[in-house]
Amino acid sequence: MIPLPISRAGLFALRFVAMALALVAGLGAFVLFLQFGDADGLDALDVIRAMLILISTLWLAWGAVQALIGLTSHAKPPAYDPKAPILGRTAVLMPVYNEDPLATFSRVAAMEESLRRTGDPAVVHFAILSDTRNETIARRELVMFKHLVLDRNGLGRFFYRRRENNTGKKAGNIEDFVTRSGGAYDYAVILDADSLMEGETILQLIRRMEAEPRLGLLQTLPKVIRARSRFGRAMQFSAAFFSPVFARGLAMMQGETGPFWGHNAIVRVRAFAESCGLPPLRGKPPFGGHVMSHDYVEAALLARAGWVVRLDDDLEGSFEEGPENIVDHAKRDRRWCQGNLQHSRIIGAPGLRAWSRFVFAQGIMAYISPLFWLGFIIASIIAPLTAPPPDYFPEPNWPFPYFPPSEASKAIGLFIGIFVLLLAPKILIAAKAAITGRAKQFGGAGLAFLSSLAELLLSSLTAPVLLMYSTRSVIQVLLGRDGGWPTNNRGDGSLGWRDAFAASWWIVAIGVIGLAATWYLAPGLLLWLSPVGVPMVCAPALLRWTSLPSHGKLMGVPTEYAPAAVMQIHDAILDRWTDALDRGRGVPAENATPSAPAVPAR
């Protein structure tokens, strides 16, 4: 096991070993492919394909090494007093943008009730920061805000404001709060509109901040909850079962230069105000304009200013919701793609820590890596057109033909190696969960293993479709198309056949053309490329089937067997508020204009 806590020298050694292991795997794949290509004589296309395999395998191996580190270490809370009195003032910030006010404000009420039940006298206020552009939704926000204050008897603890101009999107929304009202608070817990957090977790975040004066930002590992569809439940299971191990590896390697994922985290307001101003980038979107993936940049700026940025993966009680279908996932991913590629303009900024630059490079690589795989597939299909003809008589006047030895074993070995990099981490996580007893939370070792296999199968089927959406996003950004900031879809995510086909007809066309080209140009590859081409041809059926409700215990998670306390509180409040709205009891009319307390300023 890796010793904890890790020293600075140990951190550098761990990073070096991780990079070395990934490099060895990548070079091994490179050499194997060159040996395979040399069977009929190397040409330029063989070298290009070997380079593409090198880059792609490096990326896969890096993820596998991260899982290996997570498997060989364990989450350990930092040294602090979990019962220490809290001295600072905290604001819990929930930015909203055209969200359902009933769902959003009831989450705020649930977190406030969860805090009350702790009995802790800490000063914690809740601020709903609206960037809503839809006037109907904005009126409902005011209605629901008044209902929130009256229902919770919370005058002075809840605040609401709506910006007239949503400059800078979410980052600008938070910046506006910090500029106008940040002086009233020592800490700010930043959420998303679908976030939910236990009151005790909020208090422990604050206590960890107060115990470490150098700590500028503390990120939790949020678990996905309330998923209903097959796709949503697969993501929910992956986030609960696999992600903690990968996050543990990430926390080990990042040390005090950790991540910020934009939500379910606490920041020291002074540190954030001093370090995280984000002026627009020169030029027009998608590479210019306001920084979209602002969270990674803010983490880097805090680290540059000498603040500790940390991921404490031992903290529980942090939740979020996820997309229910592949189309909604792809829409959200399009925004992340543009934001991460925008980091190519920031990676060379002066004064950044070396690891922060490496994190930016990882984020960019996460989106351009599908292009390398796609390039390898295309190059392999057209390779027979450029391959030199076999020479069975390389020696002049030699009467017997020479048959070069088969290098098929090299290709098979390469395929097995890539397969292991993809699957081994999840299989090992399932095995360790069975040994340590963690699998009991997921229905037992047998069910957890079957759920892992089901998630692997589903992710393998949907991977080619997601690869195409990701590739399209990268191409759109490189062509200068701004994807904007679309509203997240909540609730039921079921797709009809018409919507599924409209969202994926182009994937079907590419899949058909690709399989036909393979059959015509390289029929020997048809079987090998079928796991990629067939899901693309079946994309509409996959989109629809994975969006339908999922039933049963397969891919079940702990919050389904035993919902967290704050989830139960939220369910009760949501039911009560929904009933009150239906009956019109205690809820003002929608055309009412209640006064909304502004966010306080000192």
SS3 per-residue string spanning 262-299: CCCEEEEHHHHHHHCCCCCECCCCCCCECCCCHHHHHH
- Whole-model pTM: value is 0.90
Share of the chain above pLDDT 90, in %: 73
113 lies in some domain: yes
54 lies in some domain: no
Give the per-residue pLDDT at 403: 46
30 lies in some domain: no
Count how many domains the chain has.
Answer: 1
Give the per-residue pLDDT at 598: 53
Give the per-residue pLDDT at 589: 42
Give the burial class of 316: count Cβ atoms within 10 A of its Cβ; 0-12 exposed, 13-18 middle, 19 or more buried: middle
Cα–Cα distance measured from residue 100 to residue 112, given in angstroms and rounded to the nearest whole number: 19
423 lies in some domain: no
120 lies in some domain: yes
439: tokens are: 């699998």
The predicted-structure confidence for 506-551, as pLDDT tens digits, reads as follows: 999 999 999 999 999 888 888 888 999 999 999 999 999 999 999 8
SS3 state at 11: helix
153 lies in some domain: yes
- 143: domain CATH number is 3.90.550.10
Q: What are phi and psi of 130, to 5 degrees?
A: -95, 130
Domain holding 132, by residue range, is: 89-323
Which residues of the chain are under the pLDDT cut of 50?
Answer: 1, 392, 402-403, 406-408, 586-597, 599-602
Give the per-residue pLDDT at 389: 60
96 lies in some domain: yes
DSSP bridge pairs for 190? 93, 265
SS3 state at 321: coil
Q: Residue 601 — left, alpha, or beta (φ > 0 → left; ψ -120 to 50 → alpha)?
A: beta
Give the per-residue pLDDT at 39: 65
391 lies in some domain: no
Cα–Cα distance measured from residue 7 to residue 173, given in angstroms and rounded to the nearest whole number: 37
CA 143 from centroid of its chain's CA atoms: 33
Give the per-residue pLDDT at 205: 98
